[in-house]
Structure 1
Amino acid sequence: MSELFFDRVSVRYGHHLAVDDVSLVVPHGQVVGLVGESGSGKSTLAATAVGLVPVTSGQVLVDGERDRRRRVQMVFQDPYSSLDPRMSIGGSIAEGMPRGVDKKAEVARLLELVNLDPGRASSLPARLSGGQRQRVALARALAGRPEVVIADEITSALDVSVQGAVLNLVRDLQRRLGLSMLFISHNLAVVRYVSDRIAVMKDGRIVEEGPAARVLAEPGHEYTRELLAAAPRRHARLEVS
């Protein structure tokens, strides 16, 4: 288990300040739900953790160290574009494995871990449903044996009927593997279900952060209250168990 720390991170695109002096901790073995509307900067912040977006100022650390190679892995929103359509799902998973691993056996183990038949390893992504592809994307992220996982809107492209099963899987994997996780969503019903702590982001800044129970029961910021007021109507059909 490891701690991910965004230390006064800012990201600027030209004249636009997408992330503004954000400090946020993802504690050892916990899930921090990062919630905010589209354009709030939450995905940009997440991308800094895996080096996809350079920081303008500040730093991102894992256990106090800047070197995050392999220690942090990301699962992306769109399961259709995150996998190479020409590569078997087993090949996609094996790409991220460290050297010296029995790749065939490890692919089988990871597919079982995400509740997919290991016999599907030779299948191409086109033969899988959206929910199955997102499970493969999870397995691919875990192949690198990360200590921290970033999950960026991973259920938003899925049918509502599939979202609950994927959320149950994410929660189970995080607990079984002891992962630290930053779980990003605009959907407060989803964040409520998986998170130990919740951070609320608006216009590039964290406007509220704390234990999930406290933020949901006693929100301190008007924007959080607006998100909570909208959530029951917007996400009434989401069902998880």
Structure 2
Amino acid sequence: MDPATDSPRPAEAIVLPARGWRIDPRRAGIAALICWIGFAAVVFAVQTGRSSGIDAAGLLFWRGGTDLHARGPGWLLEGVRDLTALGGVLLRHLFALGAIAALLFLRLRREALVLAGTIIGGWVLDSLAKHVVGRARPTIVPHLTEAAGTSFPSGHAFNSAVVYIAIALAFAAMSPRQSVRITLIASAIALTLLIGLSRVWLGVHWPSDVAAGWLGGAGWAFAASALLHKPAKAAAEKAAASLEAATPGTVTRA
């Protein structure tokens, strides 16, 4: 039934979800500031050598025996490799493209533009940080997966935090229930933390690489939700107006 008319709704009708929430810009800004202060603290610790003890202990914690093999059964190693793949370039970009396509299908153009801008901006920031710091990857334990490039910050941790938290924030806009929104965002945070830990377990990143990557990526995801909202809304409204002018009567939403 259509609640507006009390008449049966055609089976073919597409019902667009109501947009009823966005994270408060001030709260997002506070979360971003806390993350970036943490990021700066990790950078300072790395540059001054204060992180070396924790870094070495963190890598060796997952290893055993004289050959420093990975602790646990073989299936655990495969599971960790599968988990780390979720933060790799291919899978995270596939999930991101799928999320953007779904948001566009749902006529949530504003959220789609914010998500796309967040991901692009995150990639630029991560690349700049890697270039500036230029830290080598750890060699004190055998690597259990292929890894290239510089080590700080962890690209998997940084970009997975950007992509998955931004996706959660975008789709949380469709739910009027706070419990659902909290579950989406908390699940994204938990997933990205596990992806970061997998990089240390596999021996391809120092713990400080992962900490900085996650803090930097999460900080950008929250900051972008506030900074990109207004320009994305303006662009979405312009596109919706153009579509309505070209095809009057079309369901559009900015």
Q: Same fold (TM over 0.5)?
A: no
Higher share of residues assigned strand? 1
- TM-score, normalised to structure 1's length? 0.25
Q: Which has the larger radius of gyration?
A: 2
Higher share of residues assigned helix? 2
- TM-score, normalised to structure 2's length? 0.24
**Higher relative CO (CA 8 A, sep ≥ 6), structure 1 or 2?**
2
